[in-house]
Amino acid sequence: MKFVILGFDGPDGQARRKIHRPAHLANLEPLNRQGKVLLAGPFTDQTGSLIIIEASSLEEAQKFAAEDPYTLHGIFERVEVHPFLQVLPAPPNS
């Protein structure tokens, strides 16, 4: 099942982001190696980030988002996790 994680930066998120980026990427890497990170990156207007992952449940996706270094260190002031149904491009095996 796919989930969209929206992380909204706090007031000093951009400055703190650089400090914790290596830990944030290291946190994503195990899922990435498993092919479960479908898309990830920051918004170019510097308001936060978008991450789309595969997870077995909403709870698993929420736990992943809550334990991310950007969340733990306050870069993300607010995080939303939403189940997502991909329509286009058509996912494999659809």
**Which residue segment(s) compose the domain that 60 sits in?**
2-84
CA 56 – CA 74 distance, rounded (Å): 26
State the pLDDT confidence band at 93, using cuts at 50, 70 and 90.
confident
Tokens (6 digits) for 94: 């659809």
Q: Is the pTM of this model over 0.85?
A: yes
Establish if 78 belongs to a structural domain.
yes
What is the domain count for the chain?
1
- Report pLDDT digits (tens) over 4-39: 999 999 999 989 999 999 999 999 999 999 999 999
- Report pLDDT digits (tens) over 55-76: 999 999 999 999 999 999 999 9
pLDDT of residue 92: 80
Establish if 66 belongs to a structural domain.
yes
Rg (CA), the chain: 13
Establish if 51 belongs to a structural domain.
yes
Alpha helices in 7-77 (DSSP H): 13-33, 58-66, 69-72
As a whole-number percent, the residues of the chain with pLDDT over 70 amount to 99
CATH number at residue 13: 3.30.70.1060
